Amino acid sequence: MRLASAALPVLLAAAPPVSAQPANHIGEPMADILLANGCAMSETDLAAAMDADGWHISDFQAQVRALFNGGYVVKAADGRLTLTGWGNCK
């Protein structure tokens, strides 16, 4: 048991940092899609992915606005939306 408890700090230090994310955030479904797609997608691809999951354009607008306002989504010069500070997205 001592070996396991001694190794735990080393294992934790080697793990990639994960950003905290808010509980029950309105943009969580969109954030989950972005997480599953490498943290960045074009608006068109993101809207299509949300539509495929059963979300509507009004849901897209509300979620992207909430994520933008919270500082969790930024828009790149090429138009891609990038999730930051959420889960494994930096």
pLDDT digits (tens, 9 = 90+) for 49-68: 999 999 999 999 999 999 99
Per the domain annotation, does 66 fall within a domain? yes
Query: Which tops the pLDDT comparison, 17 or 70?
Result: 70
**CATH number (domain holding residue 32):** 1.10.10.10
Per the domain annotation, does 59 fall within a domain? yes
Per the domain annotation, does 1 fall within a domain? no
Per the domain annotation, does 67 fall within a domain? yes
Per the domain annotation, does 64 fall within a domain? yes
Cβ(67)–Cβ(31) below 8 Å: yes
pLDDT in tens, 8-21: 455 445 545 566 67
**Which tokens sit at 33?**
């899609």
Contact partners, residue 43, CB within 8 Å, separation at least 6: 79, 80, 81
59: domain range? 26-90
Per the domain annotation, does 3 fall within a domain? no
- pTM of the full structure: 0.77
What's the whole-number average pLDDT of the chain? 86
Report how many domains make up the chain: 1
Alpha helices in 1-90 (DSSP H): 2-14, 28-36, 43-52, 57-69
